[in-house]
Amino acid sequence: VTRLSQPSKCYFVLNAGRAIGIESLQQKLRTIQLKDVSGTEKLAIGKVEYSITGMQIVNLGLPKSALRLVAGTGVMLSVGDAYISLRGNWRVKYSWIIKASGSFELAVSELAISTTIAVKSDVTGRPTVSVTKCEATVGSVKVRFSGGASWLYNLFDSFINKALRNALQKQICPLVTASIAEMNKNLKTLNVLAKVDQYAELEYSMVESPVISNAMIDLGLKGEFYNIGQHKEPPFSPRPFLLPSQDTNMLYIGVSAFSINSAGFVYHRAGALCLYITNDMIPSGSLNRLNTRTFGKFIPQIGNMSPGLMMKLLVETVKEPIVTLEPNNMTVQASSKVTAYAIQPNSILSPLFVLKLEASVSAHIYVTGLKLAGHVTLNKIDMSLAESYVGPFQVTSLEDILTTVVKDVIIPKVNGKEGYPLPAIGKMQLVKSQLQVLKDYLLIGTDVTLTG
């Protein structure tokens, strides 16, 4: 769940949306085409036939605009003090006495537009927008005629002003509606899958339409990891949760235990949660070495059957690790097996034994850049013998060696991961991020800046 909070602090995302909307609207308004105007006007001097043709926009500006939230709907885009300049041709005929033509310039100012835009989710989980209300008013229209007999047009200047004002006003809202609708073409191309690495991708499509109040936007994002190209659901379901009522930060992100556990399911299913451990990976200062001499001290059969050989351990999960989130406490329970091999002189691996390994670790999670990262520390290890190729032995005799392997090799490998991407809007950076571990989810509160 992602929440954008407070209208004043939510400016970064609204401003980005406003800029996109204004650019699209400005391009659309430039396509305004006023139809030729012709007719007969009765003046003091008699009936005058006139026509205004070839009107084209030469300048357009939307200097003032704002975007604000509308509860239950979406956003309201307001444009003020907009202006449009047009140029065209005029022609006039008065009886058989006067036939003349020339050019004119039309200046439209104090143009105001107000449109309410509904924001929803489509069937693919991407945002979709539509206009639910639009109002446009043209404040002032001034026409300046030039050329022979232009004094005739000045006689019915007010009539021309009214006709052109109405013609403009009728075109604006349909163009606004079309401009907003065209934004859906780009919204449909938004990527809702982020590749994490060679094994996993993260889907962050919307699971429902945004919940919008006057103060914030709540976005329900899927936040589920999948194997690349294989969207298989895990054998567990997400638990619903609600973000607490806080508004001291611009952005709040809730990451559920389900999201994190779906990552564990994906990596276990891909066979990525396995590691071969060799002697050179053990810290040089440790007395525990991966060779039959060291293990032979605890399991004499190994020293007798495979004297003077180096060893290799294969550690692999037997099911997906499970993350549990409680207030101020995050733990990971991992079930794995450890297969010990003796490396023969011809490099063939001879299995010695297989251990079941249940490990519990505590995790400290933090935000770095636009990623969620962390490091873990070992709580405890429980071991049992699954299979032995050297006869029976006491598993407890290997606790010291296996603890060294977990603490000095496996955990540093886990802690060396770069982290996983958080949902981002444009080129944003998180500032003053704080993370809380709550019941069944992580809560990230942060301020945001936009770059570029």
Give me the pLDDT at residue 370, please.
Answer: 85
228: closest CA among 201, 205, 203?
A: 201
Joined together, the tokens standing for residue 12 give 């970064």
For residue 55, is it within any domain?
yes
**Per-residue pLDDT, 429:** 82
Ranges in the chain, pLDDT < 50 = 6-12
**Residue 272 sits in the same domain as residue 412:** yes
Q: Using alpha carbons only, what angle is made at residue 367 by residues 362 and 372, rounded to the nearest 5 degrees?
A: 70
- The runs of H, that is alpha helices, within 156-306 are 157-187, 257-269, 292-298, 300-305
Helix ranges (DSSP H) in 138-228: 150-155, 157-187
Q: Within a domain: residue 196?
A: no
> Which CATH number characterizes residue 134's domain?
3.15.10.10
Are 249 and 324 in a shared domain? Answer: yes
Query: Is residue 183 domain-resident?
Result: yes
Residues 321 and 263 in one domain: yes
Are residues 99 and 143 located together in one domain of the fold? yes
Is 321 inside a domain boundary? Answer: yes
Q: Looking at residue 408, what DSSP letter applies? A: I
Residue 255 shares a structural domain with residue 183: no
434: domain range? 223-451
Are both 137 and 254 inside the same structural domain? Answer: no
Q: Across the strands, what pairs with 254? A: 443
User: In terms of domains, do 159 and 264 share one?
Assistant: no
Q: pLDDT at position 243, please?
A: 84
Each as own residue / partner, the long-range contacts of residues 13-21 (CB below 8 Å, 24 or more positions apart, any chain) are: 13/425, 13/448, 14/67, 14/68, 14/69, 14/75, 15/67, 15/450, 16/425, 16/426, 16/450, 17/67, 17/75, 18/65, 18/66, 18/67, 18/77, 20/183, 21/67, 21/77, 21/117, 21/179, 21/180, 21/183
Q: Is residue 214 situated within a structural domain?
A: no
- Contact, 14 vs 70, CB < 8 A? no
Check residue 364 and give its pLDDT. Answer: 94
- Domain end marker among 169, 188, 207: 188
DSSP symbols for 302-314: HHHHSTT-BEEEE
**What is the C-alpha separation between 161 and 86, in angstroms, rounded?**
13
Task: Give residue 66's pLDDT.
Answer: 87
Query: Does residue 213 form part of some domain?
Result: no
Cα-to-chain-centroid distance, residue 282: 41
Whether residue 34 lies inside any domain: the answer is yes
Residues 238 and 160 in one domain: no
CA dihedral angle for residue 239, residue 245, residue 249, residue 253, rounded to 10 degrees:
10
pTM score:
0.80
Same domain flag for 156 and 245: no
Q: Check if the beta carbon of residue 434 is closer than 8 Å to that of residue 215.
A: no
Contact 333, 360 (CB under 8 A): yes
137, 165, 188 - which closes a domain: 188
At 299-315, the pLDDT tens digits run 999 999 999 999 999 99
DSSP 3-state of 173: helix
Q: Classify 35 as helix, strand or coil.
A: coil
The helix/strand/coil state of 344 is coil
CATH of the domain at 241: 3.15.20.10
Same domain (yes/no): 149, 237: no
362 and 329 in contact (C-beta within 8 Å)? yes
For 79, phi and psi rounded to 5 degrees?
A: -125, 130
Cβ atoms of residues 281 and 404 within 8 Å? no
Question: Do residues 261 and 349 share a domain?
Answer: yes
Q: How many domains does the chain have?
A: 2
As beta bridge partners, residue 2 has 219, 253
Listed residues 143, 166, 188: the one ending a domain: 188
In this structure, are residues 269 and 226 in contact, taking their beta carbons and an 8 Å threshold?
no
Per the prediction, the chain carries an average pLDDT of 87
Bridge partners of residue 278, in order along the sequence? 312
In a domain, 3, yes or no: no
| Claim to verify: residue 184 and residue 228 sit in the same structural domain | no
